[in-house]
Amino acid sequence: METLNFEAMKLKLTQDGTGFVLALRIHPDQIPEPLVRDFVGARYMVAMVRINDDEEPVQYKKTRSTQAGMLCKNETFQRFLVDEGYAHKADEVSATNALYEVCGIHSRSELNGKGQKEFDQLLEDYEGYAKDTPF
C-alpha cells in the first residue's frame, strides 16, 4: 500500500447534507502526483497530525464532553454501568441516562462544571473495571 505524505494547511471547513467538506492548501512542491492524477470522488483513508512551529506534533486533549459521548457508545462501558448497578440495560441510551444521573447533569456540556468530579471518579472506576475484566 502506497501512502501519500505531504504538509497542508486547513483553509476552511463547511458542512453539506452528507457531511463535512475540508479544504486544504498544499504547496505545489509538496503535492503528491498520484493525488493530482486521482479522479474527483476517489476515497482515501486519512491520518493527520497537527504540527506546531517547531515541526513537533500537537497533542489534543479530549474534553470530558467528548469522552462521555465516546464512552456511552462503548459496549464495555455500557456493561460496566450495568454491572455496577447504574444502568439496567447495556445500550447507548441507558448509558447516557446513567451518566447524567451519576454526574447530576442534564447534558454533556455540563461535565466541565458541576459534574466533572463525579465524571472523573466514574472514569477512574471504569478504567479499573476495564483493566480487570477479561474480554
State the first-to-last Cα distance of the chain, in angstroms, to the nearest integer: 32
Which pLDDT score is estimated for 72? Answer: 94
Higher pLDDT, 62 or 27: 27
The β-bridge partners of 23 are 12
CA 95 – CA 80 distance, rounded (Å): 9
Which pLDDT score is estimated for 1? Answer: 67
Q: Does residue 114 carry a pLDDT above 90?
A: no
Q: Does residue 134 carry a pLDDT above 70?
A: no
pLDDT band of residue 135 (cuts 50, 70, 90) is low
Element (H, E) at 34: helix 33-37
Q: Does residue 49 carry a pLDDT above 70?
A: yes
Q: Does residue 34 carry a pLDDT above 90?
A: yes
CA 117 – CA 60 distance, rounded (Å): 21
Q: Does residue 46 carry a pLDDT above 80?
A: yes
Residue position matching grid coordinates 464495555: 76
CA 85 – CA 29 distance, rounded (Å): 58
pLDDT band of residue 111 (cuts 50, 70, 90) is confident
pLDDT band of residue 131 (cuts 50, 70, 90) is confident
pLDDT in tens, 54-110: 988 888 777 899 899 999 999 999 999 999 999 999 999 999 999 999 999 999 888
pTM for this model (two decimals): 0.57
Give rounded-to-5 percent helix, strand, coil for the chain.
40, 15, 45
